[in-house]
């Protein structure tokens, strides 16, 4: 008889504790690890965060603004070169644009894992040009201000970008 009266309250208490625990995990997960305030709760919550793959950085909440993009240069047998961007012709609102941006960052961060496969795909895409190699170039945007825009300059002008060759991939010969 007493159990029947206490059971709903106990269930409510357990569910409230779980919701509080999960909400705390959602708040603690993206906080930088250099914060002393969250080190103790993170130590307790870490197994839960890892189990549910909730341990994400701050960038989980928003895309990277500015940053870098990947361009690739197709070189043909005659020595001609053509430069392309991987996400240029895709609308920002199309899901493929996000996929291509993630692909760009994967190539930049781990070229040894992703550049060869991406190069192979791009060699097939540009087969009509008879490509010999594909060179991936990272373009980093730096120091562009509103005053620069008003003076007629653009964010992709050479003075506001720095380029770095990521990797060159040789195309298979047909």
User: What proportion of the chain, given as a percentage, has pLDDT over 70?
Assistant: 89
The Cα 86–Cα 69 span in angstroms is 8
> pTM of the full predicted structure?
0.57
Q: How confident is the model at residue 144 (pLDDT cuts 50, 70, 90)?
A: confident
Q: Which helix (H) or strand (E) holds 74?
A: strand 68-76
Residues facing residue 140 across a β-bridge? 68, 162
pLDDT for residue 95: 81
**Cα 38 → chain centroid:** 25
Q: Per-residue pLDDT tens for 10-31?
A: 999 999 999 999 999 888 887 7
Is 113's pLDDT higher than 60? yes
Q: Per-residue pLDDT tens for 83-107?
A: 888 766 777 788 887 788 888 888 8
More confident residue, 19 or 143: 19
3-class secondary-structure state, position 1 = coil
């Amino acid at each position: 008889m007493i159990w029947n009266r206490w059971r709903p309250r106990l269930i409510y208490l357990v569910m409230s504790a779980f919701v509080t625990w999960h909400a705390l995990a959602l708040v603690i997960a993206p906080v930088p690890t250099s914060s002393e305030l969250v080190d103790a709760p993170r130590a307790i919550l870490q197994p839960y965060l890892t189990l549910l793959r909730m341990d994400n950085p701050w960038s989980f909440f928003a895309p990277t603004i500015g940053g870098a993009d990947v361009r690739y240069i197709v070189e043909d047998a005659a020595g001609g070169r053509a430069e392309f961007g991987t996400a240029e012709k895709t609308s920002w609102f199309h899901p493929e644009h996000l996929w291509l941006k993630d692909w760009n960052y994967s190539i930049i961060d781990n070229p040894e894992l992703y550049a060869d496969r991406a190069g192979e795909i791009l060699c097939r895409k540009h087969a009509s040009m008879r490509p010999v190699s594909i060179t991936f170039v990272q373009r980093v945007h730096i120091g562009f201000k509103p005053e620069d825009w008003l003076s007629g300059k653009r964010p992709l002008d050479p003075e506001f970008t720095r380029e770095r060759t990521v990797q060159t991939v040789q195309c298979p010969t047909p």
